[in-house]
Structures are given as structure tokens and as C-alpha cells.
Amino acid sequence: MKLRKVTAASAVLLALSVSATACGGDKKDDSSSSGGAKKITIGIKFDQPGIGQKTPQGYTGFDVDVATYVAKKLGYSTDQIKWRESKSADRETMLQRGDVDFIAASYSITPEREQKVDFAGPYLLAHQDVLLRAGETKIKSPSDLNNRKLCSVGGSTSAQNVHDKLAPKANLQQYPTYSECLSGLQSGAIDALTTDDSILAGYASQAQFKGKFKLGGFKMTNENYGIGVKKGSPLKDKINKALEAMVADGSWDAAVKKNFGPAGYKNEPAPKIGDVKS
């Protein structure tokens, strides 16, 4: 009788052990990189319309479309993508720590950054430009910004670059956000907003601003957008192949038109992989 009680108790313990092991096994499978449970973590901007924006309906923008295409070529479906906000100051650290697999976030390729991370691409050649009111006729070149109110966000080097090199008498205005610069431009409180033309086009393409702004088309600098990966990552070559495929099958052109078209953005042709314009 006592032996049967011990045996029964052992059976219960064994059953509990097997159950716990199974639960542990399920948890491990959920986080594994095999089968349907695999995930890829991608860094993007959350607050740049037309580039990378988090909305109640999901994530939108040119960088989001590029990153989604690349992820699919790497074998990940849309629901296997985990999006992470990658603020400009955090991008290198996020890659070095392994917080993300790659970053597509208006991430210009520079020699300083290449010392810390690797880049696939470039996948877009942008330029520093200005955004003007649609009816503006007197600002036709950077020098016409002299004695005009020129806006950019606090901490940005864009407005200072114009002031130092092209329009030394420009009246620099720093606002906390681009949206506030846009409001100032719309009201007449400022005369021009400056940053990358792709970012300007993204903002101007929003429905509420349709037909209210135009790009100057000044092309004051070259900004080569690349996809950042950790130093030595084998993803670099795979991403480059995906970017080439995106251009070849027309998806790149479609993404440009979809995200920047309403602003009349005259984009450069898709750059060749490795061709970084100085």
C-alpha cells in the first residue's frame, strides 16, 4: 500500500515535470530564430512623415517601405518585423549593442560613422534644401535667404551650414520641431525651412499641407542614405543584393512616388551600391 502511494506520488511529480518541460520548450520556441517564430528588429524614425512615422494604423514612409522590402528578401514576412525607434543620436549605439539588426532612418553615410558601423547602400541620394511657401517668387537661390528668417530644429546643423557658407545674413530661427517650423512657414513667421530635401518632401506631402509648400531645389549638400549594420555583419552584402533587386523590379521608384510625390520632389535616380557622393 505504501509502495503504491509512493509510486502514485512519483507519477504526479513526473507528470508535473514533463508539463513544466513542455511549457519551457514552448517558450524557447517562441523566441527562437527558426520556423514561424523568427523575428527581425529594424530601427526607423517614428516622427518623420514620408520617411519613417508611427501612426495609429501602423508604420509608414520611404524608409519603412525600403526596410520592409529588404526584410522580405531576407526571409521575413511583415508580421515578423519588430520596429524600434532609432533617434539620430542613438543609432550607432543601438547597432553596437545589438538592439537592432539594421537601421534605415534617414541615416547619412559619413566617414565618422563608418568608423563605428557598416553601411549597405546607399539607397537614396538626398540634398540639403529649403521648403518655401507655394507662392514664394523672390527666393530663387541660397543667396536670396540673406535677410530672411530661416528655420530649422534646435541642434540641427542645416541652418548653420546655410548661414556660414551660402547666406551669411540669414536670420536663423530654431524651433523645437519641424512641425512648428512648418506652422511658422505657413503663417509667414518664417520665410524658409531647411533640412534634407527628402525630409522636407515628406512633411510637405502630408494631406493637410497639400499645395501649400514647394521645394527650392537648391541641392546644397549630398546626403547618401545607407542602411546601418553592426561592424562586420554578414547582413551588409545580403541587404545590398536586396536593394539592387528593389531598384530592378520597380519597387524603389514606386516607393519614392508614393511617399514624396505629392510635394513634387525631384529625386535623384537610385544610386549604385557603394557609390557615395561627397
Q: Which of 118, 164, 170, 71 is nearest to 276 (CA)?
A: 118
Torsion angles phi and psi, residue 204, rounded to 5: -65, -20
- By mean pLDDT, which of 55-64, 123-132, 203-212, 239-248 is the weakest? 203-212
Q: What is the pLDDT of residue 265?
A: 87
Q: Helix-strand-coil percent breakdown of the chain, rounded to 5?
A: 45, 25, 35
Class assignment of domain 38-126+224-263? Answer: alpha beta
* DSSP E strand stretches across the chain: 40-44, 47-48, 52-55, 58-60, 81-85, 102-103, 117-126, 128-133, 149-153, 171-175, 192-196, 213-215, 223-230
The cell numbers describing 51, all together, are 520617411
The tens digit of pLDDT for each residue in 8-27 reads 444 444 444 434 444 443 33
Q: What is the pLDDT of residue 20?
A: 40
Q: Which of 233, 40, 242 is nearest to 118 (CA)?
A: 233
Is 159's pLDDT higher than 90?
no
Is 90's pLDDT higher than 60?
yes
Contact of 62 with 51, CB cutoff 8 Å: yes
Give the type of residue at 147: N
Is 173's pLDDT higher than 90?
yes
Domain 128-215 of CATH type 3.90.320.10: no
Residue-range domain boundaries for the chain: 38-126+224-263, 128-215
Same topology for domains 38-126+224-263 and 128-215, yes or no? yes
Contact of 216 with 183, CB cutoff 8 Å: no
